[in-house]
Amino acid sequence: MIDTKDFSFLESQNSFDFKGFLIKITSYWRWFIISLIITLTIAHQVNIRKEKIYAMETSIAIKEENNPFLTASTSLVFNWGGTSDQVQIISNTLRSRSHNEIVVNDLQFYIDYLQQGEYNYKDVYGEIPFHIMIEKNKGQLAYSLIGIKFLSESEYEIKIKFENPSVSLIHYYDNSTSTTSVVEGEFIKKYKVGEKVSLPFINWKLDINDNPGFYKGNEYFVRFNDLDGVVSKYQGISVDVDAKASSILQLSLIGPNKNRLVDYLNATVKMLIKLQLDRKNQFATNTIKFIDSTLILMGKQLKDNSEELKSFNKNNNMFQIEDGGAEVSAKLSGYDINKDEIQRKISYCNSLKSYLKSSVDYSRLPAPTVAGIDDPNIVTNVSKLIALSTQRSELAYSVKSDKIFKEFDNQMEALKNVLLENIASANSSLLYDLALVNNKISELENNIKKLPSDKQEYLKIVRKYDLSDNIYNTFLQKRSEAEIATAANLSDIHFVDPAKDTGGGKIGPNTNVNYVLAVFLGLLIPLVIIFVIFFLENSILNTEDISKLTSIPLIGVVGIKYGSSNLSVFEKPKSALSESFRAIRSSLQFLYKKQEIEGSKTLMITSSVSGEGKTFCSLNIATVFALSEKKTVIVGLDLRKPRIFDDFKIKNDIGVVNFLIKQKSIDEVIQKTHIPNLDVITSGPIPPNPSELIIGDSMREFMDLLKKRYDYIILDTPPVGLVSDAIELAEYSDVILYIMRQNYTKKDMITLLNNRLKRGELMNISIIFNGFQNKAKYGTAYGYGYGYGYGYGNYAEGYHEEDKNKNIFNKIRSRFVKNK
């Protein structure tokens, strides 16, 4: 039946030792320092290689400006609404593709001016001594660096490296692209300043700026970029409404070149002012265009009438003709003028009606007042319709929302319907007035028919001339009014604070953030690695691990040795390492006494696998017994891999194997050492059947002979995890010492040891924890807890010899102490 105790091992494995984890972290402090050095170095290199980023700002105010010439007596009326409608429109316009495209084209910001910096190419717009004027209708080399080196103040050299047989060209007049063939390799050609460059891939003229400074020998680079890509970048301009004043907009732009940012911000606002003023003058501009086209026709007609009148006067006696009929002629001229005014109004209304029904763009409508219409409903609604139509066309490239366009369309449709009703009402009134005027003209014409024919002809010519002259003067007056109104108009947009480089504006790269991130990563990376190591760690790290995994007692903790020799106790008898073996000797004597063993005592030393310090511990335990004037022999029973003879500088020609096969006697296999009271029996030649020799009767005879001669017999046996030899030798041992090495012995081996103990294969077994160092690295060490071994620290000063690894820190410290 399975007992819940069987799961205790799994529970102990799954519990998280937070204290041990913290101790382990502190042990790897060098990792954190190295990691921080690396990450901070990377952050520093990134910071010095990154381009500096600046932010420039400007602010504008939106205030409705009334035209001072638009009084009650002015025949042109403008109605544009308040600022509330304009803020959003201006904000969208500044971010629109069409607006930014105009500004980029005007500034030619699709051309990069660069200079080689320490780590990358630097934008030197505004600092270069020259400028280039390109031919937009011809292709320019796209995206490639064009080197310009000034050989003298009046001569420069163009250098281009072609890596392919064809290159792309950009045509800025229509933003199209094409390709042309080139010769692979480096293209170099010299030109004079101001000379026209006409190449298949470059078409420009380079001129020197005013006050260029010293530039001979300097090298610059020019690059032509895609217009749409550059425009897209500048569409990211930030436009924010001031929280305290809704009619003020804050414009900001970021980039690596302050001169470019300042020029663009000021240029985009100036362009906006111009476009807004042009839109505001659209009403008057349309009127002027209409008047100009009308004046051309009326001027020709007036000229013809004048010629006709001159011809008539020349061929007739004007004194007799002018006598009589003057009063009738004056009245008739007045009615003719009234009739023309009415007909022009009717014609405008009909044209407006037809235009409203057939067109969707109303931005080109002339003012109603040009036709003499002073109906406030028609004048106001036409001005509103022009404003809405203009705004809608401006938003076409900046707004993608159909909802906004539908709102504009709904407003214009409503205005159009109202206008059609106004036109219908005005037409009815005008037709009535026209009928009255026609009746009066008919009455006067009947009276004129009673006059002589020459007088009738004269009155007819004068009548046409006066009408044409009156119309022509009226249109001239209206054109003058429109020009005055246009000249007097002010934009609703004003600079509050133009963009200017005052020396600041740097916003990046944020070096502090990079350094903070570097510190964070420098700590996190080793922490994660240690965390993984901690959870994947399957080695014995401290005495706590041993106590958790087995009930076998731990009788000693042995520190790590420094040096090539394994005879640490003999060579440094006052070292802390030697004291740890003396403590083990005391514990063994206690175990022997507890078992009431008299006479010769046998100690078997084994381990899980090779490399855990089994032979090292065997030699030094044997040494401490020998130095206590006990006759001691150490027997090398690792017949497969003999080791102990090297440290005593003896040969392995004769040993245990020779005795077991009856080749040599016991006296012949025993070898004296330079350590008093310590003999050695090496394993001898490697036999083909070591296990069979160990379990034979010769082995029992061998052990009996040794017990008669020695007080302590130390058996250096093979690892129990690899071969079964040590299990066969356990019956000859009074006490078994199982060596575990820190950070080497696997925890799974303890499970194997526990199973052997349960099956009775190993008895009277104790554990020695070997190779212990740096308790912070591997967890808590029980130097005091067990009363054995390694853990006296500073309190041992004067009692133990120093036995430390002479690393760089110890060397510096010892040298400093000596100098002191």
- Per-block mean pLDDT, blocks of 10 residues, the chain (820 long): 39 57 78 93 86 91 63 41 65 88 94 91 93 93 95 95 94 91 94 95 94 92 94 93 84 93 95 82 70 74 72 58 58 75 80 78 69 77 78 62 72 83 83 81 67 63 70 73 68 86 83 88 90 78 84 89 81 86 90 87 89 89 92 89 80 88 90 92 87 86 92 90 78 90 85 86 88 59 36 39 52 48
Per-residue tokens: 731: 């019956």
**pLDDT at residue 350 in the model:** 83
Q: pLDDT tens digits, residue range 641-694?
A: 877 777 888 888 889 899 988 898 999 999 999 999 999 999 888 888 888 888
Using alpha carbons only, what angle is made at residue 651 by residues 649 and 654, rounded to the nearest 5 degrees? 145
- End-to-end, the C-alpha distance of the chain in Å comes to 71
- Residues 519, 549, single domain; the answer is no
- Residues 614, 665, single domain; the answer is yes
- Asked whether the beta carbons of 123 and 260 are under 8 A apart, the reply is yes
- Residues 751, 625, single domain; the answer is yes
- Residues 170, 126, single domain; the answer is yes
Q: Which residues are 187's β-sheet partners?
A: 160
- Residues 264, 325, single domain; the answer is no
**pLDDT at residue 793 in the model:** 38
**pLDDT at residue 800 in the model:** 47
Query: Is 57 inside any structural domain?
Result: no
Query: Is 504 inside any structural domain?
Result: no
- Residues 43, 116, single domain; the answer is no
CA 68 to chain centre: 53
Per-residue tokens: 409: 């369309």
The C-alpha atoms of residue 370 and residue 345 are separated, in whole angstroms, by 9
- Residues 618, 729, single domain; the answer is yes
CA 731 → CA 12, 219, 634, 764, distances in Å? 33, 91, 17, 11
**pLDDT at residue 12 in the model:** 43
Query: Which residues, in sequence order, are CB contacts of 707 under 8 Å at separation 6+?
Result: 599, 600, 602, 713
Query: Is 483 inside any structural domain?
Result: yes
**pLDDT at residue 47 in the model:** 84
**pLDDT at residue 246 in the model:** 78
β pairing state of 601-607 and 735-741:
parallel
Q: With residue 487 as reference, give the H or E element that holds it.
A: helix 453-488
- Residues 334, 411, single domain; the answer is yes
The C-alpha atoms of residue 744 and residue 613 are separated, in whole angstroms, by 10
- DSSP-assigned letter for residue 767: E
- Residues 27, 8, single domain; the answer is yes
Neighbours of 618 (CB within 10 A): 27
The C-alpha atoms of residue 188 and residue 767 are separated, in whole angstroms, by 83
Per-residue tokens: 524: 């996190």
- Asked whether the beta carbons of 59 and 243 are under 8 A apart, the reply is no
- Residues 305, 247, single domain; the answer is no
Residue with tokens 């310009």: 148
- Residues 657, 790, single domain; the answer is yes
The residue out of 229, 259, 280 marking a domain boundary is 280
The residue out of 247, 280, 313 marking a domain boundary is 280
Q: pLDDT tens digits, residue range 438-464?
A: 887 777 666 666 566 666 666 667 766
Query: Is 811 inside any structural domain?
Result: yes
Query: Is 75 inside any structural domain?
Result: no
- DSSP-assigned letter for residue 716: E
The C-alpha atoms of residue 429 and residue 373 are separated, in whole angstroms, by 12
Extended beta strands in 104-245, E state: 111-116, 121-123, 130-134, 140-141, 146-150, 155-162, 166-171, 176-181, 185-192, 196-198, 203-208, 219-224, 238-241
The C-alpha atoms of residue 541 and residue 777 are separated, in whole angstroms, by 8
- Residues 21, 128, single domain; the answer is no
CA 766 → CA 63, 543, 623, distances in Å? 96, 13, 19
The C-alpha atoms of residue 201 and residue 562 are separated, in whole angstroms, by 75
The C-alpha atoms of residue 166 and residue 155 are separated, in whole angstroms, by 28
Query: Is 493 inside any structural domain?
Result: no
Q: Is the peptide bond before 452 cis (omega within 30 degrees of 0)?
A: no
CATH classification of the domain holding 665: 3.40.50.300
Query: Which residues, in sequence order, are CB contacts of 9 under 8 Å at separation 6+?
Result: 549, 751
The residue out of 229, 255, 280 marking a domain boundary is 280
**pLDDT at residue 711 in the model:** 93
| Enclosing domain of residue 23 | 4-50+509-535
Enumerate helices (H) and strands (E) in the chain, giving the number of each. 26, 25
Q: Give one word for 751, left, alpha or beta, with left for phi > 0 and alpha for psi -120 to 50.
A: alpha
Query: Is 668 inside any structural domain?
Result: yes
The C-alpha atoms of residue 112 and residue 15 are separated, in whole angstroms, by 63
The C-alpha atoms of residue 94 and residue 252 are separated, in whole angstroms, by 11
**pLDDT at residue 395 in the model:** 63
- Asked whether the beta carbons of 736 and 604 are under 8 A apart, the reply is yes
- CA neighbor of 789 nearest in space, from 765, 770, 766, 764: 770
Number of Cα atoms under 13 Å in the Cβ half of residue 42? 12
Query: Is 467 inside any structural domain?
Result: yes
pTM of the model: 0.56
Query: Which residues, in sequence order, are CB contacts of 592 under 8 Å at separation 6+?
Result: 601, 734, 735
Number of domains in the chain: 4
CA 121 → CA 31, 124, 156, 187, 547, distances in Å? 37, 9, 20, 21, 65
CA 638 to chain centre: 64
